[in-house]
Amino acid sequence: MRLLFVASAVGPLGTGIAGGVELNLLNLAHALQARGHVVHIVAPAGSRTGEIPLVWQAQGLPPAFAQGETRDSPVILPQPSVLANLWEGARALQNDYDLIVNWGYDWLPLYLTRFFQTPVLHVISMGSLLDHIDSAIAQVLSDCPGTVAVHSQAQAETFVGIENLVILPCGMDLSAYTFCSKPENYLVWIGRIAPEKGLEDALAAAALAKLPLYVLGRLQDPGYFAQIQADNPGAILKYCGFLPTDEMQSVVGKAKALLVTPKWIEAFGNVVVEALACGVPVIAYRRGGPAETVLDAITGFLTPPDDPSALVAAIAKLDTIDRARCRAHAEENYTLSVMTDRFETWFRKLDKSQKPI
Ligand code: UDP
User: Is the domain of 83 the same as that of 144?
Assistant: yes
User: Is the domain of 32 the same as that of 164?
Assistant: yes
Question: Quick one: pLDDT at residue 351?
Answer: 66
What's the CA gap between 172 and 25, in Å, rounded?
Answer: 11
User: Is the domain of 134 the same as that of 272?
Assistant: no
Evaluate whether residue 127 is within a structural domain: yes
User: Is the domain of 313 the same as that of 261?
Assistant: yes
Q: What average pLDDT score do residues 267-292 get?
A: 98
* pLDDT of 356 over the 50 cut: no
How many residues does the structure list for the chain? 357
Ligand 1 centroid–CA 256 distance in Å is: 19
User: Is the domain of 188 the same as that of 162?
Assistant: no
Evaluate whether residue 266 is within a structural domain: yes
* pLDDT of 156 over the 70 cut: yes
Backbone φ/ψ region at 356: left (φ over 0), alpha (ψ -120 to 50), beta: beta
Residue with CA closest to ligand 1 atom 9? 20
Evaluate whether residue 355 is within a structural domain: no
Alpha-helical segments (H) within 113-190: 131-143, 153-158
Evaluate whether residue 76 is within a structural domain: yes
Question: Quick one: pLDDT at residue 357?
Answer: 38
**The amino acid at 250:** S
- φ, ψ of residue 242 to 5 degrees: the values are -95, 115
User: Is the domain of 163 the same as that of 186?
Assistant: no
CATH number for the domain harbouring residue 203: 3.40.50.2000
**Side-chain-side CA neighbours of residue 292 (13 Å):** 20
Test site for ligand 1: of 26, 150, 248, most ligand atoms within 8 A of the Cβ? 248
Evaluate whether residue 357 is within a structural domain: no
User: Is the domain of 289 the same as that of 190?
Assistant: yes
Question: Quick one: pLDDT at residue 350?
Answer: 85
Evaluate whether residue 210 is within a structural domain: yes
User: Is the domain of 322 the same as that of 342?
Assistant: no
* pLDDT of 355 over the 70 cut: no
Distances (CA, A) of 11 to 8, 102, 241: 7, 15, 17
324: CB partners within 8 A, 6+ apart? 179, 181, 279
* In contact, 150 and 124? CB cutoff 8 Å: yes
User: Is the domain of 196 the same as that of 156?
Assistant: no
If pLDDT is split at 50, 70 and 90, which confidence band does 167 have? very high
* In contact, 323 and 280? CB cutoff 8 Å: yes
Q: How many structural domains comprise the chain?
A: 2
User: Is the domain of 151 the same as that of 11?
Assistant: yes
Crossing angle of the two packed helices 270-277 and 20-34, in degrees rounded to 10: 70
- Ligand 1: list residues with CB < 6 Å: 16, 19-21, 23, 190-192, 216-217, 242-243, 245, 248, 268-271, 274
> Nearest CA to 269 among 191, 330, 209, 347?
191
Q: What average pLDDT score do residues 197-217 get?
A: 98
* pLDDT of 67 over the 50 cut: yes
Residue with CA closest to ligand 1 atom 5? 217
Evaluate whether residue 70 is within a structural domain: yes
User: Is the domain of 193 the same as that of 282?
Assistant: yes
Closest approach atom of ligand 1 to CA 242: 8
Evaluate whether residue 213 is within a structural domain: yes
Q: What average pLDDT score do residues 93-116 get?
A: 98
- pTM value is 0.96
What's the CA gap between 157 and 178, in Å, rounded?
Answer: 34
* pLDDT of 270 over the 50 cut: yes
Residue with CA closest to ligand 1 atom 22? 19
**Domain region containing 316:** 174-333
User: Is the domain of 153 the same as that of 186?
Assistant: no
